[in-house]
Amino acid sequence: MKCGIPVIASNLTSIPEIVGDAGLLFSPTDVARLASLMKDVWTDHGLHAKYAALALERAKAFSWKATAEQTLAVYRSVLETG
């Protein structure tokens, strides 16, 4: 996402939460759907541009700094209550 590449991802576990509306989701058992999405993103330049832009925008919500700060906050709360 950070590279501005359209995302095609599994609709299971936490992936949809991370991708949000910025990617195209499919069931990992639906090979035909995956192939169709790959073809569509490759051949439909408007679709490609739309999801490339959405990916870049969505990626701004994530950073290593924020992850480290949130992890540290969890550790601190455990130490304070433990």
Please check whether residue 65 lies inside any domain of the structure: yes
Cα end-to-end span (Å), the chain:
38
Please check whether residue 1 lies inside any domain of the structure: no
Q: What's the whole-model pTM score?
A: 0.80
Q: Residue 56 belongs to what domain range?
A: 7-81
Please check whether residue 77 lies inside any domain of the structure: yes
Please check whether residue 18 lies inside any domain of the structure: yes
Please check whether residue 30 lies inside any domain of the structure: yes
Please check whether residue 2 lies inside any domain of the structure: no
What pLDDT, in 10s, does the model give residues 10-63?
999 999 999 999 999 999 999 999 999 999 999 999 999 999 999 999 999 999
Please check whether residue 62 lies inside any domain of the structure: yes
Q: State the Cα–Cα distance between residues 44 and 31, nearest whole angstrom.
A: 20
